[in-house]
A and B are shown apart, each in its own frame.
Chain A
Amino acid sequence: GAVVSQHPSRVICKSGTSVKIECRSLDFQATTMFWYRQFPKQSLMLMATSNEGSKATYEQGVEKDKFLINHASLTLSTLTVTSAHPEDSSFYICSASPIGRGEQYFGPGTRLTVT
């Protein structure tokens, strides 16, 4: 149980285009999902907290107009990287917490490469 999926697993896009990443909780509902970014050989950096039916809460230094988050249902959150640039290339990981339980379960990650 507690499986989280992400799609796509890898994406390559050209500079200036937008990319959408989906995060789904497959066997549980989650009012809260989290989006992280991870650089090679580094720890996870929280970007934003996504709450179903309300606006996401962004961490300090994260551009909310660049990283658009939508939590449309209790099983789906999306992260859209708008006008992507090479410096946005990274490993993006989401996590979700089952309703009534606090632990976070992570998705497999999405490798974004901007050329």
Chain B
Amino acid sequence: QQQVKQSPQSLIVQKGGISIINCAYENTAFDYFPWYQQFPGKGPALLIAIRPDVSEKKEGRFTISFNKSAKQFSLHIMDSQPGDSATYFCAASSGGGTSYGKLTFGQGTILTVHP
């Protein structure tokens, strides 16, 4: 019930292409869905996050699509660049209000963008 399943495990994209990473969850109490980017030897950095009251959120080249009925959400990276090569984690938590609570992380996706 607490799991967040992420796919694919790894992804190779050409420069300028679109990278798409998918996540699915079971716990309907989850109400906060962030994406994190992690470079080797570094801590995760918050990229973008969405609440279930909207179906899409865009920030620059990064877009989250959210499908509440299917309990799925995805990250789209437009015009992918070699500098985007990193591990991406989706996550989910519940709590609402001003406290989002504990994060449950997906397994991670290693993205490689070839020049």
- Nearest to B49 among chain A residues (CB) is A103
Which residue in A44, A49, A97, A109 is a CB contact (below 8 Å) of B41? Answer: A109
CB-CB under 8 A from B95, the residues of chain A are 102
Number of A-B contacts (CB under 8 A): 57
- Where chain B touches its partner, the secondary structure class is loop
For B, the interface residue count at a CB cutoff of 8 angstroms equals 25
Closest to A31 in B: B99
Which of B44, B49, B89, B103 counts the most chain A CB atoms within 10 A? B44
Dominant SS among interface residues on chain A = strand
Q: Shortest CB–CB separation between residue B95 and chain A, in angstroms?
A: 6
Does A13 count as interface, using CB distance less than 8 angstroms?
Answer: no
A21-52 vs B, CB cutoff 8 Å, 1 = contact: the mask equals 00000000000101000000111101001000
Q: Name the segment of B54-62, B64-72, B77-85, B104-112 touching the other chain.
A: B104-112
- CB < 8 Å: which of B32, B34, B102, B108 contacts A34? B102
Q: How far is the CA of A93 from the CA of B105 in the complex (A)?
A: 14
The 8 A CB mask of A4-20 against B (1 = contact, 0 = none) is 10100000000000000
Q: Which residue of A lies closest to B51 (CB)?
A: A102
A103 pairs with B34, CB closer than 8 A? yes
Bound CA span A49–B42, Å: 21
How far does the alpha carbon of A32 sit from the alpha carbon of B32 in the complex, in Å?
A: 17
A6 to B97, alpha carbons, bound, how many Å? 28
Q: Note all chain B residues with C-beta closer than 8 A to A103.
A: 32, 34, 46, 49, 100
**Besides the known contacts A6-B43, A103-B100, A111-B41, 8 further A-B residue pairs in the complex with CB atoms under 8 A apart:** A43-B105, A44-B44, A44-B89, A97-B99, A102-B97, A106-B43, A106-B45, A108-B43
